[in-house]
Amino acid sequence: MNGLTIPFTGLKKQYNNLRTEILDATDTVLRSGQLMNGNYTYEFEDWLARRNHQPYAVTCHSGTQALEIIAEWMLLQAGRPSTPTVAVPTMTYPATLNAFVRAGWNLHIVDTDRYGVIDLSNFEHNADIQAICAVGLYGQSIDAITQSLWALTHPVIEDGAQHWLSNDCQRVGDCAISFDPTKNLANFGNGGAVITANRDLMEFARNWINNGKRTLHAEVGTNSRMSEIDCAQMLVKTRYVNKWQQRRRSIAEHWMEMLKNHPDITCLIDAENFETHCFHKFVINTDNRDILQRNLALHGVETKIHYATPMHELPAYQHYPCPDLLSAGSSLARRCLSLPIYPELTDLEVEYVIDQLLEIV
């Protein structure tokens, strides 16, 4: 192997760049003695609400639990004797499906479009489906879903873990977001939030994350909070997120230009979705994906496969209504490769990644 070594994430670089501010914020919290439910938590939630153009944000332990809170609340509101069904895309992480299953929903797994987003255009109306869960795979906006006839008659729940920073953060429904270390705005540990315009859901979420304490335990819940240290550190990062997003955009734009006429590579970011993408991942669709990944690794470029197996091919979900092996999701899962894209990449590293890709292909 020769040349540079490019890891898939820039977490080490990000910490080194922010180290003084992060340690100062941590020290301030620890010296205060207020480690949970303090001013930093409320300030971060206020920032999240404003950033998403919604009145309420409630932080919790993970994006998965944020989605589970929404799913449980909607089930309680439905009041139906039978178990409701939610339409979910086959290209996502199992956490999306698990949140609904754990809350008591049935699933209907739906195929995706060429970008990996749930495709309702050819999906026959099903009276059993009460809601749609939209996942902006790789950072793709879900505008197409919100403009569909389905969205007029069904509530749209956003699993916004990957796309919530897209499209100026305009939410279309109750939204669960994640601060997993791999996300565009990442916590050093874990974290998530419920974003909503519904005051009742906000109250339910606040009660749920505190074991039902707000209603004097008239309702059940769990312990699912972000700490004051988490929120103080995240507030440091909010000062830089716009700059980071612009850098991601610039890298993606350059790589798209370099690959636009390549016969063997298709970018999942293109002219059609570029303006509304949040550039969480830069994903290419190509033949011989696994061979390409190994060759890039030999040249020091770490890549990832998201997601190697669509949900309808996993044993836990095969008994639900789902696509077949000729689905678009199955094809994407076997052809897509994620390149390292993060704001800490230098111009030299950006050029190295694309040069190695073009040379190998």
CATH number at residue 81: 3.40.640.10
107 plus 256 within the same structural domain? no
Is 30 a domain residue?
yes
Last residue within a domain, chosen from 217, 238, 259: 238
pLDDT at 3: 72
131 plus 113 within the same structural domain? yes
Is 7 a domain residue?
no
Is 8 a domain residue?
no
What is the rounded distance in angstroms from the CA atom of residue 302 to the CA atom of residue 280?
Answer: 16
CATH code, domain with 315: 3.90.1150.10
246 plus 222 within the same structural domain? no
pLDDT at 110: 94
pLDDT at 2: 60
Owning domain of residue 128: 13-238
68 plus 116 within the same structural domain? yes
136 plus 206 within the same structural domain? yes
CA gyration radius, the chain: 21
**Residues in the chain with pLDDT values less than 50:** 1
307 plus 356 within the same structural domain? yes
Is 249 a domain residue?
yes
230 plus 249 within the same structural domain? no
pTM, whole model, 2 decimals?
A: 0.93
Is 323 a domain residue?
yes
Q: What angle is formed at CA 306 by the lines to CA 304 and CA 309, rounded to 5 degrees?
A: 125
DSSP β-ladder status, 156-159 and 192-196: unpaired
111 plus 244 within the same structural domain? no
Nearest to 87 by CA among 150, 129, 149: 129
For residue range 86-129, list pLDDT tens digits in order.
999 999 999 999 999 999 999 999 999 999 999 888 776 666 88
Last residue within a domain, chosen from 238, 260, 276: 238
Nearest to 339 by CA among 138, 187, 94: 138
Is 4 a domain residue?
no
Q: How far is CA 323 from CA 105, 110, 113, in A?
A: 19, 6, 12
219 plus 354 within the same structural domain? no
pLDDT at 324: 86
Token pair, residue 105, equals: 């929903």
Cβ-in-10-Å burial (0-12, 13-18, 19+) of 296 comes to buried
Is 2 a domain residue?
no
48 plus 154 within the same structural domain? yes
pLDDT at 288: 92
pLDDT at 343: 97
The amino acid at 9: T
3-class secondary structure per residue, the chain: CCCCCECCCCHHHHHHHHHHHHHHHHHHHHHHCCCCCCHHHHHHHHHHHHHCCCCEEEEECCHHHHHHHHHHHHHHHHCCCCCCEEEEECCCCHHHHHHHHHHCCEEEEECECCCCCECCCCCCCCCCEEEEEEECHHHCCCHHHHCCHHHHHCCEEEECCCCCCCHHHCCCCCEEEECCCCCCCCCCCCCEEEEECCHHHHHHHHHHCECCHHHCCCCCCCECCCCHHHHHHHHHHHCCHHHHHHHHHHHHHHHHHHHCCCCCEEECCCCCCHHHCCCCCEEEEECCHHHHHHHHHHCCECCECCCCCCHHHCHHHCCCCCCCCCCHHHHHHHHEEEECCCCCCCHHHHHHHHHHHHHHC
* Count of the separate structural domains present in the chain: 2
103 plus 176 within the same structural domain? yes
Is 1 a domain residue?
no
79 plus 220 within the same structural domain? yes
Last residue within a domain, chosen from 212, 238, 264: 238
pLDDT at 1: 45
